[in-house]
Amino acid sequence: MVNLLHIKSLQKRLILLLMLPATLILLAGGVAGFYYARKVLLSEWREKAVLQLERAAHRIDMRLGRPMEYIEMFNRSGLIEEGQYSRQWIILQLEAIEGVSRVEFHTVESSTRVDRSRMSRGAGRVDRHTPGHRNMPFHRGVFSKVTPPRHDTTLGMETVSLVSLLLDERERTVGRLETVVRFDYLIADIISLGWWQSHVAGVVDDTGYYLVHTEIADRPHERLGETSDTVELRVRGLLGETSGTVLGAGHTPETVAGFYRLQQVPWTVVMFASGDKILGPITRFRNYFFAGWTVFSILLLVVIRANAVHIVSPIRTLSQSAEAVSRGEYGPTIKSRSEDEIGQLIENYNRMVEGLKERDLISSTFGRYVDPKVARKLLSRQEFSSIGGTKREVVVLMSDIREFTSLTQDLEPDAVIRMLNHYFSMMIATGHRNDGIIVDFIGDGLLVFFEPLDEAITETACRAFRCASEMMTQMTDLNAVLHQESLPEIGVGIGLNAGEVVVGNIGSYQRTKYGIVGNEVNLTQRIQAQANANEIVVSESLLRLLDCRFRIVRKFDAEVKGVSTPLRLYGVGSL
């Protein structure tokens, strides 16, 4: 059987899975129907054949019945006193019966005791035949046999003789009564029957010899089975039975036969018919069925293939689109033409692709260092769809590890990397919690900015201050972890500044990055450089925006590069 798992085409699998059961069920039904109809037809033929043969045998029995009645009366007349008068009347009645040619008497000169076992073969030795002795004295008569048909030269036709042996009181044969009956008269009723004329039929004796047959066969013969035909041999073996039927070999037997035994004489009516002729209707049904089954299968294949194409086409489109997506190529949205499971699959796939597009855009634009919630808000802005930027007031945060070079000069490279990974993991997580946008890593420094999303710039300033305060608070926990790993403790300085910068997609169409540029960014770096270890230093512009609770630890003026006058700065902390 075809292994469906090895068929890689979904369309072929659907066609096979839908067509195979339908055609097999139809074929099984047709085969079962064929055998059932065959059984019914054979059963009906058997019943019909036995009935026809019974009627034919009855007609022959009817024609033999009247002569046999008078012969029986004659056989009993020997026991009656004055029986010779009765016998004369019986003989007259016998001779008057239609089909009876003559009645003959034969005397036996030397009487012989009758052997009952030989009566059917003409017991008693007949020394001379003296027809006409109708008053021959006898004690009783016994019916002996019916002779096979033989040509009567006197009448010029075939006759059969009904023979009775006449016995004296000592059971010795003293004579014989022979009633000669025309054979054509006996079979006159059956040779006119339709089935007799259309089938191979005949009348046989107990030994299987034909008394008469239709001679329709290609090679007529004299005895059943003489050609070694198995059906004839089986019929000959059943001649002692009352009736029956015999079927030849094969699902469609070449020959079927039936037989029925006469009651009056030891003859049997037999009939042979062609199996093809009997099963002709079912054979035609079989041929028509297979022709119809073939046409139905072809039509079913066409219909299933058309529907399979309709089902498989969107799935094939999905597969091709998914293959393109695996290469990073996002095509157009697939149109759904239905609301069934396939339509739902397409809708879910389109949503998935949109999600992948968004994720890739976030990844390519913001990297892994922007909270997805913040990234979606930024993506929803109209100006975000193109390369370029806009001027916007933001808060910039920059942190840096103090004395980093001296701390790491004696450390192995892997230890340095472990220390930085611990540090940046903590700083990035804190930035995400406060909706900060991680722009870049500058050596051991970190650049973050806070953009007003759906809030005032004052709230954004407080959010940036809380982020810086949390970073300072978590330095204690970070140093505890570093100490456990035998790494040096670190201190950071953080600078905060507020001002206008250019915010937008920076780069090319192949690769962009969401970031900020401007003097305020450079100024924040210089402000951060003024902070001591574990100190937050803010500009005066940021201090004016803070409407949350804080404390000023120190204030000082600093000369920074790029600014002509000293810059007022504040060291701050949280309350």
> What are 36-47's pLDDT values in tens digits?
777 777 777 778
Residue 200: predicted pLDDT? 78
Question: Does position 452 have pLDDT exceeding 60, yes or no?
Answer: yes
Please indicate whether residue 92 or residue 16 has the higher confidence score (pLDDT): 92
d(CA 512, CA 377): 18
- Residue 264: its pLDDT value, please? 82
Reduced to 3 DSSP states, what percent helix, strand and coil does the chain have, rounded to the nearest 5? 50, 25, 25
CA distance 111 to 165: 12
Q: Evaluate whether 206 touches 240 at the Cβ level (below 8 Å).
A: yes
Residue 229, pLDDT above cutoff 60: yes
Confidence grade of residue 489 (pLDDT, cut at 50, 70, 90): very high
Q: Which residue is it, tokens 């059932």?
A: 36
- The amino acid that residue 376 corresponds to is R
**Separation between Cα atoms, residue 239 and residue 390, nearest integer Å:** 117
Which of 437, 427, 444, 429 lies closest to 514 in space, CA to CA? 437
Give the position of tokens 């100490």: 483
Confidence class of residue 126 from pLDDT cuts 50, 70 and 90? very low
Residue whose C-alpha is closest to residue 246's, from 225, 217, 265: 225
Task: Go through 23-35 and write b for each residue having 16 or more CB atoms within 10 A of its CB, e for each that does not.
Answer: beebeeebeeebe
Beta strands in 295-361 (DSSP E): none
pTM across the whole model: 0.46
For 560, the 3-state DSSP assignment is coil
Q: pLDDT tens digits, residue range 60-86?
A: 888 888 888 888 888 888 766 565 667
With cut-offs at 50, 70 and 90, classify the pLDDT of residue 448. Answer: very high
Q: Residue 417: its pLDDT value, please? A: 92
pLDDT value at position 366?
52
Whether the Cβ atoms of residue 190 and residue 269 lie closer than 8 Å to each other: yes
pLDDT for 147 equals 84
Q: Tally the C-alpha atoms within 13 A of residue 102's C-alpha that lie toward its C-beta.
A: 9
Mean pLDDT of 220-244: 85
What is the reported pLDDT for 325? 75
CA-to-CA distance for 351 and 345, rounded, in angstroms?
10
Nearest CA to 333 out of 321, 319, 341 is that of 321
Instruction: Out of 107-116, 180-189, 274-283, 327-336, pick the least confident.
Output: 107-116
Closest Cα partner for 262 from 50, 47, 54? 54
pLDDT in tens, 379-415: 555 555 556 678 899 999 999 999 998 888 888 999 9
Residue 457 has a pLDDT of 92
Binned at pLDDT 50, 70 and 90, residue 359 comes out as: low
Residue 364 is predicted with a pLDDT of 52
Strand partners, 442: 445
